[in-house]
């Protein structure tokens, strides 16, 4: 069922109902995005729920998710459209001799010979979709410029075919891990959402959402420890993703408390650098209760 929210509270409740716990600004910006038709740029450290927000919006809004995963060297042919060379070649071969070049050319540059890539799929779709452009900071500025045109006009120009205008407007979510500054031009066209590590109570609720069977006392301790670990000066502080993994691991192991021994056994689920492990063992491990001796 396609959903059209009428308030910020609608969006907050809707996202929660599909398993995503939004902070206040997340619900607000998401609501505005659905009403103003502007793309949302979501920035923040890895593992704080940027990608998941787009997925959750697609579930909540009842719209298909179209995802473009960005990487270094991504170009229009992989993001927008590409001519299906093989099919074109086949057509040329089968028609060789019988038809003139002009007819073949008209033929092979038609929509039947076009391979749609995610950006084109998103705007050509007859039902509005959620378009996730994930990790935009991995591409270069040229790619960003191409994207700007698409995001402001919702149209694509294909030299051989002409202008293709959007049939429907997608809700667009761009994410960035902040590995480079994005251009001002891009930011100007987007609503901006900064996602950070959550407050303790919020993170506890997220962890419990993902592992409802973990005893509440263990879940609370887990989140307290994770927040303590984030205070340290680490190469890679644990994110929500790590908290969730740790909760699952502790549940599997049947842990009823996080004491020193349990922590030592499982800390590599949340800390993944050799040097960070040493720091954490030294600074956090000692603050926990020694293991109970039966
Ligand atoms: N607010 C939230 N509510 C529920 N789950 C969340 C939330 N934030 C993050 N998560 C979970 O944390 C994990 C990492 O999120 P992800 O979106 O992949 O991070 P990012 O894209 O920021 O690197 C996912 O399993 C996601 O479900
Ligand atoms: Mg992500």
- Which tens digit of pLDDT belongs to each residue from 4-56? 899 999 999 999 999 999 999 999 999 999 999 999 999 999 999 999 999 99
Q: pLDDT tier at 292 (50, 70, 90 boundaries)? A: low
Per-residue pLDDT of 103-135, as tens digits, reads 777 788 888 899 999 999 999 899 999 999 999
Ligand 1 atom showing the smallest separation from residue 209 Cα: 4
Q: Which of 38-42, 139-143, 152-156 has the highest mean pLDDT?
A: 38-42
* pLDDT for residue 176: 97
**Are the beta carbons of 132 and 92 closer than 8 angstroms?**
no
Per-residue pLDDT of 163-202, as tens digits, reads 888 889 999 999 999 889 999 999 999 999 999 999 999 9
Which DSSP helix (H) or strand (E) runs through 274? helix 274-283
**Are the beta carbons of 283 and 253 closer than 8 angstroms?**
no
Q: Which ligand is nearest to the CA of 46?
A: 1
Look at residues 195, 54, 240 and name the one whose alpha carbon lies nearest to residue 130. Answer: 54
Token match 């998941």: residue?
Answer: 52
Q: Average pLDDT over the chain, rounded to whole? A: 92
> CA 217, CA 208: separation in Å to the nearest integer?
11
Pocket residues for ligand 1 (CB within 6 Å)?
Answer: 20-21, 46-52, 175, 206, 209, 240-241, 244
For residue 240, the CA-to-ligand 1 centroid distance in Å is 6
Rg (CA), the chain: 24
* pLDDT for residue 293: 59
% of the chain at pLDDT higher than 70: 97
> CA 226, CA 271: separation in Å to the nearest integer?
10
Token match 């001519």: residue?
Answer: 83
Tokens of 41: 């740029």
Per-residue pLDDT of 56-95, as tens digits, reads 999 999 999 999 999 999 998 999 999 999 998 888 888 7
> CA 248, CA 242: separation in Å to the nearest integer?
10
> CA 194, CA 189: separation in Å to the nearest integer?
16
pLDDT at 97 over 80: no
Question: Which residues 6+ apart lie within 8 Å of 222 measured at CB?
Answer: 207, 214, 243, 246, 247, 250, 258
* pLDDT for residue 94: 81
CA 52 to chain centroid: 5
CA 82 to chain centroid: 25
Question: Which residues 6+ apart lie within 8 Å of 145 measured at CB?
Answer: 183, 185
Mutate to test the pocket of ligand 1, among 12, 15, 43, 47 (most ligand atoms within 8 A of CB): 47
């Amino acid at each position: 069922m396609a959903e059209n929210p009428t308030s910020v509270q609608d969006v907050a409740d809707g996202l929660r109902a599909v398993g995503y716990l939004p902070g206040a600004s997340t619900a607000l910006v998401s609501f505005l995005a659905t009403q103003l038709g502007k793309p949302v740029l979501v920035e923040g450290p890895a593992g704080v729920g940027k990608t998941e927000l787009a997925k959750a919006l697609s579930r909540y809004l009842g719209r298909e998710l179209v995802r473009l995963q960005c990487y270094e060297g991504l170009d229009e042919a992989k993001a927008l459209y590409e001519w299906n060379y093989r099919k074109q070649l086949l057509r040329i071969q089968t028609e060789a001799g019988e038809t003139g070049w002009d007819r073949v050319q008209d033929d092979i540059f038609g929509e039947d010979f076009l391979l749609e890539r995610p950006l084109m799929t998103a705007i050509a779709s007859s039902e509005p979709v959620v378009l996730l452009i994930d990790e935009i900071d991995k591409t270069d500025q040229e790619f960003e410029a191409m994207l700007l045109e698409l995001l402001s006009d919702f149209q694509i120009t294909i030299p051989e075919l002409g202008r293709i205008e959007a049939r429907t407007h997608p809700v667009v979510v761009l994410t960035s891990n902040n590995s480079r500054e994005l251009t001002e031009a891009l930011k100007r066209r987007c609503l901006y959402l900064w996602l950070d590590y959550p407050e303790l109570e919020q993170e506890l609720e997220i962890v419990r959402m993902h592992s409802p069977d973990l005893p509440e006392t263990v879940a609370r301790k887990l989140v307290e420890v994770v927040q303590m670990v984030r205070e340290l000066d680490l190469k890679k502080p644990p994110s929500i993703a790590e908290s969730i993994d740790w909760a699952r691991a502790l549940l599997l192991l049947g842990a009823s408390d996080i004491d020193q021994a349990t922590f030592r056994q499982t800390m590599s689920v949340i800390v993944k650098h050799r040097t960070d492990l040493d720091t954490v063992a030294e600074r956090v491990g000692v603050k926990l209760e020694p293991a109970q001796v039966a």
